Amino acid sequence: MAAQGVTPRSEDYARWYTDVVRMADLAENAPVRGCMIIKPYGYELWEHIKSALDSRFKATGHRNAYFPLLIPMSFITKEAEHVEGFTPELAVVTHGGGKELEEPLVVRPTSETVIGHAFANWIQSYRDLPLLINQWANVVRWELRPRLFLRTTEFLWQEGHTAHATEEEALEETLRMLDVYADTAINECAIPVIKGLKSQQEKFAGAVDSYSIEGMMGNTWALQAGTSHFLGENFAKAFDIQYLDENNEQQLAWTTSWGVSTRMVGAVIMAHGDDKGLRLPPRLAPYQVVITPIFKTDEDRESVFAFAHQVAEQLTAAGVRLHVDDREGLSPGFKFNDWEMRGVPVRLEIGPRDVEGQSVMSARRDVAGKEGKAPIALDAVATRIPELLDEIQASLLQQATEFRDSNLHEASSYEEMKEQVDAGWSLIWHCGTRECEDRIKEETKASSRCYPLDLNEEWSPEGKTCDVCGQQAFGRAYFSRAY
């Protein structure tokens, strides 16, 4: 195995991404085009995202359940916008047990319909509300232009589904879960996402309104990293989700749904990676620390390994996820480069001299060269390494925030906006119409990302017109190239 690097990010961003996913052993293509095999290093990354989300869902009163993979075709057609939006992406099962099925079954693209069906049975009275459910599952949406983690035909995700007595409560829930997503993205993934309302064109098929968190990737393109939908009474009407209120009158429930998928892994790769490969936020990294023993003689080998295990024991007791790289026949330099490419936050070198001095040499992934290196005494590793991991987590968020802020622009004309979306996001007053969005996309390749919540205090403010077409503006929206 020769030491080889990834294509530098600055040279070819798309190839860099493909190289990183492959060489860092995150995932690979499956026999069926568009599907992916997630390897342990990539899956562990997802597991940490998953547990960060799951604990937040539980803390906000949600419970996990599981619904079937197969959904009767007739369910999908019950909500008009839903069927229109999802039909082109559906995988349909027509045969089972060697016979043609009476009714085709859809492999779930999302579960509003089958969960709506169950909710209609579970909900009888106002006492059954709110109903707060989450499901961890895989879904299938036929993908014509697949890219590992970013767009795959089958992907893993969670989908939250809730029902409420009132419109206000459902709206509150929609925004609460958007906040949960933003908190996870910022504080676990170190991605400074922007929360906003999607345009009517970009919203979920069947929703009244969709909200998203949008992250800026290393090439300034946007990535929608999570969505939360206010479904109004649309699915309650389609699936007859009704309850008896305090006055014994039948009422329709109000529902929401929200999801984050393995796309988030792609976001972490692209928000933090550099020319040398991955840079993983310590809170998500499968290995927060990798120890590389260095030795020449058998005698040294023994003492170096003994010391390395002493260090490892202390760190494990301090709750640090670590790995001792004891692979034979590879040089320390190769191992160091390899773990650097795989984005391990802290690498520790231990050689005979370190054993003598009872210390280790640490190197930060987020700070290149000598500046990122420092010796740590054995009796300090258990306190210093967790501190260092916190510092790296904060530094990645800060770097991503500075990068984002230097690429957020405001435009006051279409001409100005066209220049800005070449390398960044452009904030404009926008009318929100389909025609205008289509035109922008055709002429600039930029799409509407969101109407940021903190920059839009009211909708359709008087006297404000669209910077592109001149019609009444709906609000201020970010436009950019996007994944």
Bond from prior residue into 130 cis (ω within 30 degrees of 0): yes
Least Å distance between CB 436 and Zn ion? Answer: 3
CB 42 within 8 A of CB 26: yes
Q: E strands, 198-253, where?
A: 209-216, 222-230, 242-244, 250-252
Q: At what angle do helices 263-272 and 381-406 cross, to 10 degrees?
A: 90
138 SS3 class = strand
Q: Does 27 bind Zn ion (CB under 5 A)?
A: no
- Closest by CA to 146, choosing from 294, 21, 2, is 21
Q: According to the binding rule CB under 5 A, does residue 431 interact with Zn ion?
A: yes
Nearer to Zn ion, 118 or 436 (CB): 436
In whole angstroms, what is the distance from residue 346 CA to residue 319 CA? 15
If the CB atoms of residues 201 and 407 are measured against Zn ion, the closer one turns out to be 201
Part in contact with Zn ion (CB under 5 A); list of ranges 157-165, 271-279, 399-407, 426-434 = 426-434
Q: Which stretch binds Zn ion (CB under 5 A): 38-46, 61-69, 107-115, 460-468?
A: 460-468
Q: Name which of 190 and 436 has its Cβ closer to Zn ion.
A: 436
Rounded least distance, CB 413 to Zn ion, Å = 12
CA gap 421, 409 in Å, rounded? 9
Shortest distance, CB of residue 399 to Zn ion, whole angstroms?
35
182, 216, 289, 466: which one binds Zn ion (CB under 5 A)? 466
417 binds Zn ion (CB under 5 A): no
Site track for Zn ion across 29-68, x = CB under 5 A? ----------------------------------------
Closest separation between CB of residue 250 and Zn ion, Å?
42
| Nearest to Zn ion of 122, 459 (CB atom) | 459
Instruction: Report in angstroms how near the CB of residue 211 gets to Zn ion at its nearest.
Output: 21
Number of residues counted as binding Zn ion (CB under 5 A): 5
- Confirm if 473 and 461 have CB atoms less than 8 A apart: yes
**In the complex, what is the shortest distance from the CB of residue 438 to Zn ion, in angstroms, rounded to a whole number?**
10
Contact between 436 and Zn ion per CB under 5 A:
yes
Looking at residues 171 to 190 of the shown chain, list those that interact with Zn ion (rule: CB under 5 A): none
Assess 427 for contact with Zn ion (CB under 5 A): no
Secondary element (H or E) of residue 387? helix 381-406
How many angstroms separate the first and last alpha carbons of the chain?
A: 34
Residue 205 binds Zn ion, judged by CB under 5 A: no
Residue 468 engages Zn ion in binding (rule: CB under 5 A): yes
Shortest distance, CB of residue 204 to Zn ion, whole angstroms?
22
Q: How far is the CB of 429 from Zn ion (least distance, A)?
A: 9
CB nearer to Zn ion: pick between 148 and 417? 417
- Min dist CB 174 to Zn ion, Å, is 26
Cβ distance to Zn ion smaller for residue 79 or 437? 437
Distances (CA, A) of 234 to 198, 361, 389: 18, 60, 46
**Helix, strand, coil percentages, rounded to 5, for the chain:** 40, 30, 35
Smallest distance, Å, CB 433 to Zn ion? 6
Please say whether the beta carbons of 203 and 229 come within 8 A: yes
Considering beta carbons, is residue 455 or 469 the nearer one to Zn ion?
469
* Complex with Zn ion: residue 198 or 229, whichever CB lies closer: 198
Q: Which stretch binds Zn ion (CB under 5 A): 137-145, 158-166, 325-333, 431-439?
A: 431-439
Q: Which residues pair with 425 in a beta bridge?
A: 408
- Residue 167: CB atoms within 10 Å: 13
Q: Which is nearer to Zn ion, 400 or 436 (CB)?
A: 436
**By C-beta, is 431 or 482 nearer to Zn ion?**
431
From 186, 239, 254, select the one nearest 393 (Cα to Cα): 186
What distance in Å separates the CA atoms of residue 399 and residue 388, rounded to the nearest whole number?
A: 16
Q: Is the dihedral of CA 244, 249, 252, 258 positive or negative?
A: negative
Residue ranges of E strands in 329-468 = 346-350, 359-364, 373-377, 408-410, 425-430, 447-452
The answer to whether 116 and 133 have CB atoms below 8 angstroms apart is no
Shortest distance in whole angstroms from residue 453 CB to Zn ion: 21
- The region of 16-24, 72-80, 307-315, 466-474 touching Zn ion under the rule CB under 5 A is 466-474
Enumerate binding residues for Zn ion (CB under 5 A): 431, 436, 466, 468-469
